[in-house]
Structure 1
Amino acid sequence: MSWFSAVVPLLVAVALLVVPGYITARVLTLRGLWAWALAAPASMSVIVLASLWANVVGVRWSVLPVLITAVAVVVIAVVVRVLARPAQAPRSASPVRRAELIALGSAAVLLAAQLVLIIGDPQNISQTFDNVFHLNAVRYIMDTGAASPLTVGSMTSDGGLWFYPDGWHALVALVVDASGASIMVASNAVLIAVAVVAWPATVLLLTRVIAGSRPVALVTAGVLSAILPTFPILMIDYGVLYPYFLALSLLPAVLAVTVQLLRFGSGDAEMPAAILTVALLGSLPGLVISHPGAFVAWIVLAVIACVLSFIRLVSTKPSRSVLVKYSVLLFVVLAAAAAAWKVLKPPADARGWAVEQSVGQAVGQALTLSQSYGNVAWVAVILLCIGLGVLVRRRTLTALMPVLFYAAFATLYIVSSAMVWPQLRDLLTASWYNNSPRLAAVLPMLLIPIAAVGGAALFEHARRLATRESVTRRGAIVIAIVGVVVIGAQAYTNQQAVRYAAANYAYGDEARLISHDERALLDRLPSEVPEDAVIVGSAWTGAGLAYAFADRQVIMPHMLMDLSEDDQLILDDLSRAEPGSPVCDALERTGTEYVLDFGTLEVHGAEHKYPGIARLGSSDAVRLVDSEGQAKLYEVTGCE
């Protein structure tokens, strides 16, 4: 399939991700990079709020409830703008600067090229464990007409999973509905839209707030946003963690607004607090329902910023009444953060990731950004060290803040990866499943602003050095060669990550979910299996993806799910079905008429035995309908 066929779903994905939020930001008087960076978080808030009320009033999920919500949000923005009445337009109202355009453009080109190489074909899928749920959840939204985070969990749990962060799935379902693309193409379109459009803009805004608007700093941030394999490549390779990837792409903009609201930002200091407050509150729903893990990360960073703000207040020797007022406010913030820390964590059985390495190894990885793919991001590390040196020498709370941001999550990464005390480890990192890759993925957004400071300082030093008469032509050539070698090494490091990730996006003969033969059989299912029939097959082998690919109901849309007594009976005894047997009653009650056999190769390389659907070739309970290589489709005939 050509990438040209993915242009329409990609444009739809970009429009849904940008237009509602961008219009709202402009109405709030924000323009330029501020409006562009806040567009995605605000748009996701519009989408998730629409999914909540549409389900309550019984409106089927489509672009319509999103449009209604967008109009309501814009009206609220108009009211806030009138009430705020800024005396003058803030500097954030200036158009996007040339350096920002260069940074955004270079990041977009680099990221788009890498993603096309990773995905390979717009119909490809991530051949990973979590993608069975992600693809099938989109189909479930389209079948039920409900995209609420309070209902999507019903696909795998009958009342046991009351909330699931489904902002990603709601957005993909909208792209499918509006463009007519398949779930696979729409999922890849949303992936590219988020990585190419949202992520560079949000991290560039955070860099501008922390490091200032110097062109070299912004261009450095733009390039680094595209060449650090820990994000976004790791999150679209490992897992696959699409919801978390989306949420982390939104987080830098939300953090930038927080920093600016507390007046720690570089420039734009006169932006009205009311506008910033509304921008923050309007972005949080999209962040929370995209993934609570990113929201908890924001809580950690916001608490650090609030504590520094309180220290700054105390240093001004305020009056007693003011000190008491802000002390109470800080206590409330800390109490709310503690409550969220306790509540917003997954169940205990989902966060049992084991310690992976020694403390020394974890410290080294945190400092060298080598948590994934086994290579050191030397360019980023060098700029990080320079930036840290520059910030520490300034000796101000504003300069200390990004250092503490990075130190906090480097510490959490070390804890999740290497701490041997399980209770303390769970207390600190349970919100991220005690899973070190999730915490590693937070580090790039916190590193990039510091590295941008380092890039600007290095450029300034090189510029001064180049103006000295003592610098010979040969010395300048040596400096240039060293620079090219270092940048080339970093490009090679990133390409290794691209090649590694690409191996998970191909329908190969040994693909862990769907092989070429299995894909061919899935393509024929709609013409061979009636619409009202249910298919049984092991989700571990990819057979459960018949739901997403062929729009046919399956007993196991995911590996980790609540099976009913009838479901379990079918999985145990179907191969022995005969008239009058209990399994035939179960087949009739569930409407199960077909079996999809994708062999024994499982996504995790394990072995889960379901005797009722094993060795069906010698069973009299089924009839072979179609096959492609080792992939087989059977019809249940033993109950006739």
Structure 2
Amino acid sequence: MPTPDDFWSYFGALATYVGVLALPGGLIGLAAGLRGWALAGLAPLLSHTVTGLAGPWLAKIHLPYNTLSVAGCTLLIAGVVYGLRRLALARGWSSPGAAEPGVTWTRRAHVAVAACIVLALGLSIIAVLSAKGGTTAVFQRWDTVYHANGIRYIADTGDGSLTGMSKLNWYPDGNFYPNGYHLVGALVYQLSGTTIPVTLNAITMPTAGLFALALVALVRQLGGRAVFAGCAALVAGTATTGAYEQVSSGLLPFALGIVLTPLAVVALQRYLVHPDIGSGAVLALSAVGLLAAHSSALFGAILFAFPLVVQRWYRVLRGRGADGGAEGKGFGRVVGGDLLRMLPVMLVAGVLASPMIFGAIGFTSSSYPYHPWGSHLPVLKSLALLATFHQVLPDPQLWLTALFAVGVLSFLALRGMRWLLLSAILLSTLFVLVASYGDTEWVIALSRPWWNDRYRLMALAAIPLCLLAAHGMAQLQRWLAKLVTQRAWLRARPRLTARFGLVSAAVVVALFAVVTGGFLNTANAKAVSLLYYNGLPGEVVPPVSADELTAMAELGRMHIPADEKVLNDRLDGTAWMYAIAGVHPVAAHYDAGVPPKDAAYLALHFREYDTDPEVRAAVRRLNIHHVLIGSGSIVVNGLPSPGLRNLEGLDFLRRDYANPGAAIYTIVK
């Protein structure tokens, strides 16, 4: 549904988001010695580290979270990292450049890879725009209302604590929730001056582009070919099961965590190769950033990256040596040294992220209900979903399957990245367990960080699967180039031979674009459309209607005080009230898990206001003077709560505003 913003306000929000992602993390990355693709890739993750730390720590010392305080935190972290790194260089404890990849790319290769990232970014933006046909649509999925209200709460109040934004719905104390996504969104909302729906769209549009950047940084750090990196960017912008499915489900912080996960390998490999203060700081801060983005992101990153360590140790065991000065050392010394060097990194990351760690522990043991999904697909069906890169949509993405098969069959050519096959097996096994045996107790316990949700675990497994598909695509280019350049007439022209590498890459990309029908953009737009309809267009009625948005805007013009709550139904679109109008609702989220006692009682009995003194007492405690009733429902064929049905004509209410889908009442007694 549209909100009163134009394209240029959206463009300003998108540009602001890019700046917020690039500047804080970029400054810290420079201070830590990052350069090139490692700096470009890790900057967004390190920016989430800064905001993720600033929010809860500033709240602990009673300072507001805003642009100025975040800038101060950025300078503080960058200054400490730079000072320690310079001290280490001066004392000879480390040497610059030792963690950089050993394979050199030409300038032309860098430009071509950058062009692939730009193309993936464009595909990401077009998919989201095509999903709804505009830039200012309101998201309609379950959790999006929580994210929308949370971003505005942080921006309006300056409270960046890990429980603050939850107080809108679970008052008075709130619930723990990792808020790195919302802290960044609050900065974008403040700096751009747009509405919350526009801010959410701006943050969502480049998601697949961020995925592409992360995969390129990984391939570059591990010494992969530029063609492999470019193909990885294009597959990231094409595969539905990567970024698009998570966006379509409204799991926006989780989608952010998924696209940032590959960067854990970049930070880890740099530290293993060259364990100094700069690379250690980057690894510790990257771990914190993943934890801030989403609690499961760090767990997923560990599972994704651990095969890299296994491969390193296996090479030492076979007597082949490992990167980072491990040549000549025995297996025990290498393993012990790696583990010992991880201790200070874990200690620093643990101290910095202690509010998140203790918050997550407290939430796990709280009374908030945990309801596992309990999926039980046939194993062959689960494997088929993985191999065909689809889950939300009915149509398999067979061209990606073909590339994946080529990548797996030629995995020996991955050389230092052969661990990707082990990572794919590990994460795919976890997906199959949850998808096929999701109601088994030990599987539920194992997959709790991902809420026992096969859709989330598909996205995690998609990371190595996409990389293997990209490797297959790169191998096709290599074979094509080799086939042509072996011609005698071409071998006699070395300058032409050198240029054919770029030509063959362009041919492979063009063929991929043709056979996938424009990089599967139509399919991805269809998947993302679920975000704007809460289902496939035409099959469901979105819970947030244009009439409700109009009524919420009218409510915002009534100058309702901040300490007053407006009674509303939990399942209709009025839960967006705070994000749209800045007015505090009684129900600020569709989630009814552990609702406030007064909110639950009013939902059942508000119609009995005249006869039930407990209703009147609850109204006084919550300082309610107005009621907003909508017409939609997040639940298919859902009905309003019993206490909020048929309010028209009740003598204790006066109707002040009405349209076909919403009404505002004032309590007159």
Percentage of identical aligned residues:
21
Pairing of 1:161-240 with structure 2 (within 5 A): 162-196=175-209, 198-210=210-222, 212-238=223-249, 240=250
TM-superposed CA distance for 1:296, in Å, is: 0.6
CA distance in 1, matches of 2:509, 2:305: 39
Q: Quote the residue 2:8 is aligned against.
A: 4
Aligned counterpart for 1:498 among listed residues 505, 522, 525: 525
Alignment of 1:50-89 (within 5 A): 50-85=54-89, 86-89=94-97
> Distance between the aligned counterparts of 1:391 and 1:481, measured in 2?
19
Match of 1:560 in 2: 591
Once the two structures are superposed, what CA deviation does each residue of 1:22-67 show, in whole Å capped at 9, x if it has no partner? 1221222322111110100111111111112211121122111110
Distance 1:115 1:415, change over 3 A: same
Specify which of 533, 552, 562 is matched with residue 522 of structure 1. 552
Amino acid at match of 1:206: L
Post-superposition offset of 1:195: 4.1
Which one-letter code corresponds to 1:178 in the other structure? L
Residue in 2 that maps onto 1:375: 395
Check 1:456–1:489 CA distance in 2 against 1; reply closer, same or farther (3 A cut): closer
Listed one character per residue, the Cα deviations across residues 419-461 of structure 1 (whole Å, up to 9, x for unaligned) are 1661121133121111011011123322233233222221121
- Distance in 2 of aligned mates of 1:349 and 1:356: 22
Q: Are the equivalent residues in 1 in contact too, given 2:212–2:234 (CA < 8 A)?
A: no
* In structure 1, C-alpha distance between the alignment counterparts of 2:217 and 2:362, rounded to whole Å: 27
**1:418-429 pair list within 5 angstroms:** 418-419=436-437, 422-429=440-447
CA contact under 8 A between 1:206 and 1:449: conserved in structure 2? no
**Alignment-mate amino acid for residue 136 of structure 1:** N
Alpha-carbon distance change, 420 to 444 in structure 1, aligned in 2, over 3 angstroms: closer
TM-superposed CA distance for 1:495, in Å, is 0.9
Q: Which amino acid aligns with 1:582?
A: E
Q: Specify the alignment match of 1:49 in structure 2.
A: 53
Q: 1:350 to 1:427 in 2, by over 3 A?
A: closer
Deviation at 1:364, TM superposition (A): 1.0
For 2:114 and 2:438, how far apart are their aligned partners in 1?
46
- Displacement, 1:21? 0.9
Matches within 5 A, 1:535-546: 535-546=566-577
CA contact (8 A) 2:149 2:165 kept: no
Distance 1:324 1:217 in 2: 30
Q: How does 1:92-491 map to 2 (within 5 A)?
A: 97-158=110-171, 162-196=175-209, 198-210=210-222, 212-238=223-249, 240-263=250-273, 273-316=276-319, 318=329, 322=333, 325=336, 349-392=369-412, 398-419=416-437, 422-467=440-485, 484=511, 487-489=514-516, 491=518
Deviations 1:194-213 (A, max 9, x none): 443x3221111112234x34
Alpha-carbon offset, residue 99 of structure 1: 2.7
- Relative to structure 1, the CA distance from residue 99 to residue 571 in structure 2 (aligned partners, 3 Å threshold; closer, same or farther) is same
Amino acid at match of 1:299: I
8 Å CA contact 2:208–2:237 kept in 1: the answer is no
**CA deviation after TM superposition for structure 1 residue 588, in Å:** 2.1
**1:327–1:531 Cα change, 3 Å:** closer
Q: Residue 104 and residue 323 in structure 1: after superposition, are their counterparts in 2 closer, same or farther (change >3 A)?
A: closer
Asked whether the equivalents of residues 374 and 439 of structure 2 are also in contact (C-alpha less than 8 Å), the reply is: no
Describe the superposition over 1:501-556 as per-residue Cα deviations: whole angstroms up to 9, x where unpaired: 22542699964221122122222212236235421111211112111111111111
Question: What is the rounded CA distance, in whole Å, between the counterparts of 1:168 and 1:470 in structure 2?
Answer: 57
Structure 1 84/490 Cα, relative in aligned 2: closer, same or farther at 3 Å?
A: farther
Q: For 1:372 and 1:466, how far apart are their aligned partners in 2? A: 41
- Do 1:129 and 1:604's aligned partners in 2 also have CA atoms closer than 8 Å? no
State the SS of the aligned residue for 1:218.
Answer: helix
> Does the CA-based 8 Å contact 1:132-1:557 persist in structure 2?
yes
* Aligned counterpart, 2:542: 512
Report the residue type matching 1:157 in the other structure: W
**Equivalent position SS for 2:262:** helix
Q: CA deviation at 1:381?
A: 1.9
What SS does the corresponding residue of 1:227 show, helix, strand or coil?
coil
Q: Aligned partners of 2:13 and 2:128: how far apart in 1? A: 16
Asked if the contact 1:598/1:630 (under 8 Å) is kept, the reply is: yes
Shift of 1:343: 5.9
Between 1:316-325 and 1:154-163, the stretch displaced more is 316-325
Which amino acid is the alignment partner of residue 387 of structure 2?
L
Structure 1's unaligned 5+ residue stretches are 264-270, 472-478
Which residue identity is paired with 2:115?
A: I
Q: Which residue of 605, 612, 615 corresponds with 1:573?
A: 605
Contact 1:138/1:172 (CA < 8 Å) preserved in 2?
A: yes
**Which amino acid in structure 1 is aligned with residue 74 of structure 2?**
A
**Structure 2: 5+ residue stretches without partners:** 320-327, 348-356, 490-505
Selected match of 2:664 from 626, 633, 636: 633
Q: Which digits, 9 at most, give the CA deviation of each residue in 1:339-393, with x for residues without a partner?
A: x9x9699678434102142111001111221223122223322222222222247
Paired with 2:73 and 2:376, the residues of 1 have a C-alpha distance of 45
Deviating more after overlay: 44-53 vs 615-624: 615-624
Deviation at 1:223, TM superposition (A): 1.1
Offset at residue 609 of structure 1 (A): 5.2
> Partner amino acid for 2:641?
Y
Residue-pair matches, total: 616
User: What SS does structure 2 have at the residue aligned with 1:231?
Assistant: helix
Kindly tell me: are residues 483 and 65 of structure 1, through their superposed partners in 2, closer, same or farther at Cα, counting changes over 3 Å?
closer
| Aligned counterparts of 1:321 and 1:521: Cα–Cα separation in 2 | 68
Deviations, residues 129-156 of structure 1 (Å, cap 9, x unaligned): 1112111112322343211224333333
8 A Cα contact 2:268 2:283, kept in partner:
yes
The structural deviation recorded for 1:399 is 4.3
Between 154-163 and 419-428, report the one with greater CA deviation.
154-163
| 1:627 aligned counterpart, secondary structure | strand
Q: From the superposition, tell whether residues 490 and 172 of structure 1 become closer, same or farther in structure 2 (CA, over 3 Å).
A: same
Alpha-carbon deviations, 1:282-314, whole Å to 9, x = none? 112111011011111012234333333333333
SS of 2:242 mapped into structure 1: coil
- What one-letter code is carried by the residue in structure 2 that aligns with 1:441? A
Q: Aligned letter for 1:404?
A: L
Amino acid at match of 2:284: L
Alignment partners' CA distance in 1, 2:509 and 2:9: 42
Give me the whole-angstrom Cα distance separating, in 2, the residues matched to 1:125 and 1:237. 13
SS of equivalent to 1:623: strand
Conservation of the 8 A alpha-carbon contact between 2:431 and 2:454? yes
**Alignment of 1:21 onto 2:25:** yes
- SS of corresponding position for 2:638: coil
Alpha-carbon spacing, 1:566–1:55, altered in 2? closer, same or farther (3 Å): same
State TM-score, norm by structure 1: 0.87
Change (3 A) 1:609 1:19: same
Q: CA RMSD in A?
A: 3.5
Q: Which amino acid aligns with 1:448?
A: C
* 1:143-188 deviation line (CA, Å, top 9, x unaligned): 4321122433333335776521111111111112222211111121
Q: Distance in 1 between matches of 2:599 and 2:470?
A: 55
- Comparing 273-282 with 8-17, greater Cα deviation is found at 273-282
Distance 1:98 1:393 in 2: 24
Specify whether residues 259 and 229 from structure 1 end up closer, same or farther in structure 2 by C-alpha distance, changes over 3 A only: same
State how far apart, in whole Å, the 2-side matches of 1:370 and 1:140 are. 36
Moved more, 108-117 or 17-26: 108-117
